[in-house]
Structure 1
Amino acid sequence: MLAKRIIPCLDVDHGRVKKGVNFVNLRDVGDPVEIAATYEQQGADELVFLDITATTEGRNAIVETISEVASKVFMPLTVGGGVHSISDMQALLAAGADKVAVNSAAVANPQIISDGAAKFGSQCVVVAIDTKWSEVEQKFKVYVAGGHKPTELDAIEWAKQVEQLGAGELLVTSMDKDGTKSGFDLKLYQAITAAVSIPVIASGGCGKATDFNDLFEATNVDAGLAASVFHFGEFTIDDVKNSLKRDGVTVR
């Protein structure tokens, strides 16, 4: 059995780490380079770095910040936000990212997934899916532009499509759960992992260390991601891994 990964996420807005609830009401958390180094010391398996305002403001991701983070930490780094083209992906990989996440750009132009996979390898291409349950339509709808704009895409069908296009991994965020600390959206991740064979990272809703236990016991995701609970010191990555080990879950 492959070891489950525990991944902290840095949501970055103009060079500062921020965190909100349901994608709004952002609070300043601190400097991304310092926070990244702390997570490496704690034993994080990877780090996800999302420039949460780049797309809505029509600018590119902060390559300089990525370069600085990559020079200080040696765990795998996935970067997203403001990625509009293959050249943007190339710039981030050159700056030290191991993987690049695309969301809005992939919805607008799915060819970027295939082109990225052909040029850099599928393992470098992560498709981020922000989704919210629609009671009216009885489906998980895909949102773009930092969670501000709904699309007509069904998240489960979109996940299947991006896998066929060459994505190597999915980063799936439950907008309903984001920042609520009420636990991961198990129904969402059961549906996603039943539909695809590529690795899935679950994001949104973690409130206590044992939420990771519930996630890995109830779904087939490969990794769990959290932000605020780690940022504000409610528990550490070690706490999560120790809890998982006690339940017999394989971790690194």
Structure 2
Amino acid sequence: MEVGELEEILRVFESSISQIKWRLKHPSKRRLETDVLALCTETRPVIMVDYGGKMPELQERLCAFLKHCKQESSIFEHLRVMIIEDMIYLIHFRALADFIKSSLKLEIEMLFVDLEKDPPKMITQVEKSSAALELLSAQKLFASVFSADGLNSDPLQNHGIDLTANAGSSLSEPVTSTSSELIDLSCCLQISQVTVPTLNGWLLGYPVVYLFGKEHIDRAIYNLSTKSLHIFQIFICRYV
């Protein structure tokens, strides 16, 4: 991305924050600015917004913010607000589609820790973990919904869920209302039974992904609170 485009992102960012009269505290504003830059440059496909307010006001603010950004610059055209139950994210849907594809092709290395074990242990045979299979189910659901061309709601409609009721019929359509900025994937947790920490570990690119089933939440919390986790990676390079 050229310097001029980065300057335009920052200009539109400031203008949109001002237009919607969003009085963010300075630390939150800096975080949002950094996150928006990461998304627009496709450095990251997803960021979680855990600052700047509470739901549902935060959701409304972010949707209004993106709407104004897109009215001023096409650089923001691929950005959307995504919610999963009480979690809220900003996504670059084209970059997210590529990330999902790479994950399913195992092009992205992920390290898994089984929090159902005491003490927690690294998982070497992922295919034998029921929690890992739930994550795979969630990844396939995301892959069926997101593509580089837009949003496909058919897989969710098969489960009786109308994703486009609030999000518009296609992510590539022009913005006509605040709701067209929103994608609600709360159903993902019901369809796949994946836990939020596991899903976030994958979506947000954490160093390790915590795996545990919903029936073992108490044990996972206990292990996280009382056990130390040390992960070592040894790299051997041979110079000729």
Q: Same fold (TM over 0.5)?
A: no
- So what's the TM-score if we normalise by structure 2? 0.27
Report the structure, 1 or 2, having the larger strand content. 1
Q: Give the number of the structure whose alpha-carbon radius of gyration is greater.
A: 2
Report the structure, 1 or 2, having the larger helix content. 2
